[in-house]
């Protein structure tokens, strides 16, 4: 991620490309936020890395272009990511949203959308990055977990943090019960992070993300 201080995004001009791997519940919350006017943007395309991902059906029900780009169809990761980028560029995507996309993106992909990729992670980063956040949080014995909306850089869940929400870990929690409560907060803060980006109200300064007031965002 670039270290220069700058405002991110311009209001009313964003076309989202949403990448998913599964049910698409975060996708559904983003669609709802767009429909109720909270986010002034358009979802230009939804792409899943599995042909049977229910996220694709959610998109089709709303008339949103939905495309499967299946990883196993490509011998090399570079070829797979180039296919993703081809679809994103073909649909005029300006902001990539990783909504439960269970693959680590290489520098090839990240550089194509530097500062324009957002992710939601089900833990309070920098604690418990990777694919097993709930398992790791429970194994460590933390009393509070949560979720993080962040920019994507070349590392694994290591990009600058935009928003976080804390969720208490209860006695007797399983991965499933903790995940269900964290997911409720994911829906809230991810849509909010996208809204702030679209309104030009996020300023990156090294690893820090500053949230601007509304009038500052429009002027930046």
Q: What is the pLDDT of residues 23-35, one digit of tens each?
A: 999 999 999 999 9
Q: What is the pLDDT of residues 107-140, one digit of tens each?
A: 999 999 999 999 999 999 999 999 999 999 999 9
Q: What does each C-alpha distance from 106 to 15, 70, 80 come to in angstroms?
A: 22, 16, 11
> Domain extents for the chain?
10-219
pLDDT at residue 13 tops 90: no
Model pLDDT, residue 5: 44
3-state secondary structure 57-71: HHHHHCCCCEEECCH
Q: How many other C-beta atoms are found inside a 10 Å radius of the C-beta of residue 145?
A: 27
Task: Give the Cα separation of 84 and 19 in Å (integer).
Answer: 9
Model pLDDT, residue 215: 79
CA-nearest of 100, 132, 98 to 116 is: 98
pLDDT at residue 83 tops 90: yes
Task: Give the Cα separation of 125 and 138 in Å (integer).
Answer: 15
Q: Which stretches within 8-162 are classed as H helix?
A: 25-35, 54-61, 77-90, 107-112, 133-140
Looking at every residue in the chain, the average pLDDT score rounds to: 93
What integer is the mean pLDDT of 16-21?
A: 98
pLDDT at residue 6 tops 90: no
Model pLDDT, residue 217: 65
Q: What does each C-alpha distance from 140 to 106, 135, 137, 157, 183 come to in angstroms?
A: 29, 9, 5, 19, 20
pTM (predicted TM-score): 0.92
Which residues fall within 8 angstroms of residue 216, CB to CB, at 6 or more apart? Answer: 7, 201
Q: What is the pLDDT of residues 37-69, one digit of tens each?
A: 999 999 999 999 999 999 999 999 999 999 999
Model pLDDT, residue 8: 53
DSSP assignment letter at 1: -
The CATH H-level superfamily of 10-219 is Formyl transferase, N-terminal domain (3.40.50.170)
> Hey, which residues are catalytic here?
121
Contact 76, 95 (CB under 8 A): no
The distance between the two most distant Cα atoms of the chain, rounded to a whole number of Å, is 49
């Amino acid at each position: 991620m670039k270290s220069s201080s700058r405002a991110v995004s311009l209001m009313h001009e964003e076309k989202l490309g949403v990448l998913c791997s599964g049910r698409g519940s975060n996708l559904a919350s983003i669609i709802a936020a767009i429909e109720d006017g909270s986010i002034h943007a358009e979802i230009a395309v939804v792409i899943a890395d599995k042909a049977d991902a229910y996220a694709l059906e959610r998109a089709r029900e709303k008339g949103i272009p939905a495309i499967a780009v299946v990883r196993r169809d490509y011998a090399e990761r570079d070829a797979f990511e180039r296919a993703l980028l081809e679809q994103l560029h073909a649909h005029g995507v300006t902001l990539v949203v990783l909504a439960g996309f269970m693959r680590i993106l290489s520098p090839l992909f990240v550089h194509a959308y530097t500062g324009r990729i957002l992710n939601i992670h089900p833990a309070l980063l920098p604690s418990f990055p990777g694919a097993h956040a709930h398992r790791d949080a429970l194994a460590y014995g933390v009393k509070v977990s949560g979720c993080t909306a962040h920019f994507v850089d070349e590392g694994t869940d290591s990009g600058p943090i935009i928003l976080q929400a804390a969720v208490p870990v209860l006695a007797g929690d399983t991965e499933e019960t903790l995940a269900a409560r964290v997911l409720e907060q994911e829906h809230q803060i991810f849509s909010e992070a996208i809204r702030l980006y679209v309104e030009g109200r996020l300023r990156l300064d090294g690893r820090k993300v500053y949230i601007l007031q509304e009038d500052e965002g429009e002027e930046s």
